[in-house]
Structure 1
Amino acid sequence: MMHQRAASHSEATIQYTAQGTGYPIVILPSLGRGPADYDELAGLLALRGFKVLRPVPRGLHDAASRAASGKLTLHDYARDVAAVIRREGDPDAVIAGHALGNFIARTTAADFPALVRGVALLAGSAGKAPEGQDSIPADVLESVYESGNPSLPDEERLLHLRKAFFAPGNDPSAWLTGWYPELKAVQTAAWRATPIDDYFAAGSAPLLDLQAAQDTVAPRRFSHVLKQALGDRVTVEVIDNAGHALIPEQPEAVARVLGDWVRKLIGDGAA
């Protein structure tokens, strides 16, 4: 059963969905998208004995946050996540951030280490690339932004979705909807306003780097960056037949790998 709840701090009230019982996993969505993308994943994790928390990103339905977009940073989003964890009353939680959400998850771990048991990057870029190499090719980055451009014909947007988000042979049509351009603008401004070294290391939290084998946005040629920088804190897992979207492509595999890693992290061997 899903419950709609709210968590407040000095600057905002954050709406979120709680589903299931057990150790809490917070899921943070991709750039310009909302928590509905994780309906199936949340249900699968709840069946595995976890409590899944899905905050509504600040700026999705909040005009005041959109108006303040030039002032927000990822630290503001981290405060929102921390408020949700505190509202639930659990000592800590694992935060799973999809794509851009992984930057917010890592910022939360850096800013509120006592609240974060671990961080999972779901098709998440490390945020850094080897010197002299672009972390995201310009044509792929263009497709990231044009995928959610409502002024383009669906046929053109499907081409962008295939290029940036979905592995060959996977159907991208579900992502023709669910885009929030104003939220994307708010989040992009916050991301650019936050120095990467503020969150790159995710404090001292253990990390699951869950990579998609056919990801063009966080490509496998950079798959070593986080592990090389942070060492044994990082566990790398790869899911095949998935691109940057990952979750709608392979929800069962994501639930299995993420759930198993969390069980190991909290010292619970239950299936």
Structure 2
Amino acid sequence: MKEGPLSTALSGEIRFVENGAASIAYTVSGPDGDDAPTLCLVASTGRGPEDFAHLAEKLTEAGLRVVLPWPRGTGRSEGPLDGIDFHDLAADAAAALETEAGRGGAVIVGHAYGCWIARTVAQDRPDLVQGIVLLAAGGGKWPSELSRGIDVAMDPDAPEAERLAALRLCFFAEGHDPRPWLKGWSGELVKAQRAARTETGRDSWWSSGTAPILDIVGLQDPFRPADARDFYLQEFAPRVDLVTVDGASHALPDEKPDEVAAIMVPWVRALPGIAG
């Protein structure tokens, strides 16, 4: 039997927070009160927080508080998609994280494209963020065929066989069923996210604040081949802890949620300023 991703419906209460013209919906689950560490997980290109469902369950079982925002224009989140940049998207996530974080401390977590937004949160709000977790962060560059593959994977009008092949190429390691990821895409969000990347000056976010970074990489991730494995170590050492997961590609948190949680929990609890 093939192992498949474990995405499912999100648990937790749906809440809303305002960020300027945007209204951001998010779920929050885990311990009540102010003393639990709070993690905000930012989803990948064109997708929502449902991909984190099983990972979030494991994190909350370990006593962490988990905030899962929907990007503006998806779920019940609303807000302008034209003329925005990384800082606008980061402010959406930061608003949800700040609302829920208490004395236990706060960590921002990004998956794939969401890593750029997580790093921007850390840059813009160093007062809020005690740690940064990167899940399947891309290296400095990757083959153009992978960007084209994302376009095919998300295209509802493309033949299903081509979409599945693109998902295997870009997101899933051998033995994992990509079929659940035929759903859950927003073309309008992808367009806005790509434009936001173009609109954002590199110097305004690249240094990613000063918080420690946990860089978790799937060994089969084509966006992070072996010769780019130490990319963030080269950029930000000694702030970075690099950990690899075998049998995972770019859909890392959905392919290997148990392993990812097992790596994240002790690292988060060891951060300065985080409740034990």
TM-score normalised according to structure 1 size: 0.91
Alignment of 1:86-165 (within 5 A): 86-90=98-102, 92-126=105-139, 128=140, 135-165=141-171
Q: CA deviation at 1:200?
A: 2.0
Would the alpha carbon gap of residues 89 and 239 (structure 1) be closer, same or farther in structure 2, given more than 3 Å must change?
Answer: closer
TM-score normalised according to structure 2 size: 0.89
Corresponding residue number in structure 2 for 1:18: 28
Q: CA deviation at 1:125?
A: 1.7
State the distance in 2 between where 1:255 and 1:225 align.
22
Q: Deviations over 1:30-71 (max 9, x none)?
A: 000001111111111000000000011012257974xx4331
State the distance in 1 between where 2:59 and 2:77 align.
32
- For 2:192, give the aligned amino acid: V
Would the alpha carbon gap of residues 204 and 268 (structure 1) be closer, same or farther in structure 2, given more than 3 Å must change?
Answer: closer
**2:54 aligned with 1:69, yes or no?**
no
Identity %: 38
Gaps of 5+ in 2: 1-10
Q: CA deviation at 1:183?
A: 1.2
Q: CA deviation at 1:199?
A: 2.0
Corresponding residue number in structure 1 for 2:91: 79
| 3-state SS, counterpart of residue 89 of structure 2 | helix
Corresponding residue number in structure 2 for 1:6: 16
Corresponding residue number in structure 2 for 1:131: none
State the distance in 2 between where 1:234 and 1:251 align.
21
Would the alpha carbon gap of residues 220 and 198 (structure 1) be closer, same or farther in structure 2, given more than 3 Å must change?
Answer: farther
State the distance in 2 between where 1:208 and 1:105 align.
12
Tell me which moved more, 221-230 or 104-113. 221-230
| Pairing partner for 2:54 from 40, 48, 51 | 40
| 3-state SS, counterpart of residue 130 of structure 2 | strand
State the distance in 2 between where 1:36 and 1:61 align.
10
- For 1:70, give the aligned amino acid: D
Q: CA deviation at 1:84?
A: 1.0
Would the alpha carbon gap of residues 83 and 267 (structure 1) be closer, same or farther in structure 2, given more than 3 Å must change?
Answer: closer
Alignment of 1:219-234 (within 5 A): 219-234=225-240
Q: Is the 8 A contact 1:118 1:207 kept in 2?
A: yes
State the distance in 2 between where 1:215 and 1:9 align.
34
Q: CA deviation at 1:104?
A: 0.3
How many residue pairs get matched? Answer: 261
Would the alpha carbon gap of residues 26 and 155 (structure 1) be closer, same or farther in structure 2, given more than 3 Å must change?
Answer: same
- For 1:93, give the aligned amino acid: A
Would the alpha carbon gap of residues 153 and 118 (structure 1) be closer, same or farther in structure 2, given more than 3 Å must change?
Answer: same
| Pairing partner for 2:224 from 218, 226, 231 | 218
State the distance in 1 between where 2:101 and 2:137 align.
28
Would the alpha carbon gap of residues 236 and 191 (structure 1) be closer, same or farther in structure 2, given more than 3 Å must change?
Answer: same
- For 1:257, give the aligned amino acid: I
State the distance in 2 between where 1:197 and 1:103 align.
13
- For 2:205, give the aligned amino acid: Y
Q: Is the 8 A contact 1:95 1:119 kept in 2?
A: yes
State the distance in 1 between where 2:163 and 2:258 align.
26
- For 2:25, give the aligned amino acid: Q
Corresponding residue number in structure 2 for 1:196: 202
Gaps of 5+ in 1: 129-134
| 3-state SS, counterpart of residue 147 of structure 1 | helix
State the distance in 1 between where 2:239 and 2:233 align.
8
**2:214 aligned with 1:208, yes or no?**
yes
> Stretches of 4+ moved more than 4 A in 1?
61-64, 266-270
Q: CA deviation at 1:168?
A: 1.8
Q: Deviations over 1:174-225 (max 9, x none)?
A: 1111111111111111122112332222111110111110001232321222
